[in-house]
Amino acid sequence: MSKEAQTDYKIHELLSKRWSPRAFDERPVEKDKILRMMEAARWSPSSSNQQPWNFVIGEKGNESWDKIFDCLIEFNQKWAKFAPLLILSVGRHNMISKDNENRYYKYDVGQSVAHMTFQATEDGLFVHQMAGFDKKKARMTFDIPDDYDALSVVAVGYIGRPEILHPRMQKSEIAGRERKSLKEFLFSGKFGETSNLIDHE
């Protein structure tokens, strides 16, 4: 199944073919592919090169997978149970060797997960990020220190058949992908004034 983005301007196919499925195949993710994803995250840029990203890796069948799964909200558990790989992203919110806050830790962890996703897509995998999980439970379960925050759970695997999903989830699984148009968020001169790069119709 392909849900390639309907783009107005041509973009790299690793970007246009990426989407966030819920139906994952049971096939495990190969160790070398997991490591390549992590290597990709590693070379992401960050503010003052603080590299605030950390990842707890759960492979289906092991204890970390079970513990991450147990932190998910019920809705996400209904489909994430199929994902062979669950990764908890954890960001450091203060600066290394300083007490001050790193205002860019979420921004930079988001970037590192995007890099991870790009590599996963190159390796034939799909990624679905989740905000819906119990952050306090994750902190207790994994003994996360105070200067770090659990930010997202990243499900990874090969694409599965939509039929394995709960009927209500099958609909969104096969629906088209939607985005705002470029003229809604590209500005020049002043915030809210559409950039003159966009042809006004």
Q: Which of residues 66-85 bind a second copy (CB under 8 A)?
A: none
Q: What DSSP designation does 190 have?
A: S
- Regarding 174 and contact with a second copy (CB under 8 A), the answer is no
Q: Are 66 and 58 in contact (CB under 8 A)?
A: yes
Residue whose C-alpha is closest to residue 104's, from 150, 46, 65: 46
| Contacts (CB under 8 A) with a second copy, residues 42-71 | 42-45, 47-49, 51, 53-58, 62-64
Taking phi over 0 as left and psi of -120 to 50 as alpha, with beta for the rest, 143 belongs to left
Told to check if 180 binds a second copy by CB under 8 A, we report: yes
Positions 83 through 102 that interact with a second copy (CB under 8 A): 90
With respect to a second copy, which residue has the nearer C-beta, 31 or 163?
Answer: 31
CA distances in angstroms from 98 to 104, 140, 177, listed in the order given: 15, 25, 43
**CB of 92: closest distance to a second copy in angstroms?**
9
Beta bridge partners of 156: 85, 127
What is the closest distance, in whole angstroms, from the C-beta atom of residue 17 to a second copy in the complex? 10
157 vs 163 by CB, closer to a second copy: 157
**Candidate list 167, 190, 200, 201; residue touching a second copy; CB under 8 A:** 190
Half-sphere exposure of 9 (CA within 13 A, CB side): 5
How many residues of this chain interact with a second copy, rule: CB under 8 A?
Answer: 78
Cβ proximity to a second copy: between 67 and 78 the closer is: 67
| Residue 71 to residues 25, 76, 136, 142, 181, Cα–Cα distance (Å) | 22, 10, 9, 11, 35
Minimum Å gap between C-beta 15 and a second copy is 5
State which residue, 1 or 11, has the beta carbon closest to a second copy: 11
Which value, to the nearest 10 degrees, does the dihedral of the CA atoms of residues 159, 106, 96, 39 take? 20
Residues paired with residue 94 on neighbouring β-strands, in sequence order: 101
Q: How far is the CB of 163 from a second copy (least distance, A)?
A: 24
Cβ nearer to a second copy, comparing 19 with 158: 19
Q: Which residues, numbered 103-122, are part of the site for a second copy (CB under 8 A)?
A: 103-104, 106-111, 113-115, 117-119, 122
